[in-house]
Amino acid sequence: MAEPRPEQAVLLLRLAGPLQSWGDQSAFNRRDTRPQPTKSGVIGLLAAATGHPRHEPLGDFLGLSMGVRVDQEGTLLRDYHTVSDYQDRPLPQAGVSAKGVQKPTSPAKYTHITQRFYLQDAVFVAAVAGPKPLMESLAEAVTHPAFPLALGRRPCVPSQPILLGLTSEPILDALTTQPWQAGEPARAQFERQHGRLAAIDRMVTVESADGDQILHDEPLSFDPRDRRHATRRVTHLWRSIPTGFDTPVPPSDAASAHDPFALLGW
Per-residue pLDDT of the chain (266 residues; tens, 9 = 90+): 556 677 999 999 999 999 999 987 766 678 889 999 999 999 999 999 999 999 999 999 999 999 999 999 999 999 888 888 778 888 887 677 777 788 878 788 888 788 889 999 999 999 999 999 999 999 999 999 999 999 999 999 999 889 999 999 999 999 999 999 999 999 999 999 999 999 999 999 999 999 999 999 999 999 988 989 999 999 999 999 999 987 665 554 544 555 666 666 55
Taking residue 176's Cβ as centre, other Cβ atoms within 10 Å add up to: 17
Whether 98 maps to a domain, the answer reads: no
CATH code of the domain in which 26 resides: 3.30.70.2660
Containing domain of residue 32, as a range? 8-78+117-264
> Is residue 1, in this structure, part of any structural domain at all?
no
Count of domains observed in the chain: 1
Identify whether 100 is part of a domain.
Answer: no
pLDDT at 254: 46
| 32 found inside a domain | yes
Flag whether 226 is in a domain: yes
- Predicted TM-score of the model (pTM): 0.84
pLDDT value at position 263?
A: 61
Asked whether residue 90 is assigned to any structural domain, the reply reads: no
User: Could you give the CA distance from residue 129 to residue 168 in angstroms, rounded to a whole number?
Assistant: 9
Q: What was the pLDDT predicted at 5?
A: 72
| Prior bond of 4 cis (ω within 30°) | no
Is the separation of the CB atoms in 241 and 202 below 8 Å?
Answer: yes
- Strand, coil or helix: 150: coil
User: Is 106 inside any structural domain?
Assistant: no
3-state secondary structure of 63: coil
In a domain, 101, yes or no: no
Residues 6+ apart with CB under 8 A from 127: 10, 11, 12, 13, 66, 67, 68, 69, 171, 174, 175
- Residues of 32-53 as b/e, b for ≥16 C-beta within 10 angstroms? ebbebbbbbbbbbbbbbbbebe
Return the bridge partners of 128, or none: 11, 66
CA distance to 60, 155, 168, 169, 174, per residue, from 7 (Å): 15, 36, 9, 11, 16
pLDDT for 2 equals 58
Instruction: Assess contact for 7 and 131: CB atoms under 8 A.
Output: yes
- Which of 190, 183, 127 has its CA nearest to residue 158? 183
Measured between alpha carbons, how far is 130 from 143 in angstroms, rounded to an integer?
18
How far is the C-alpha of 206 from the C-alpha of 142, rounded, in Å? 22
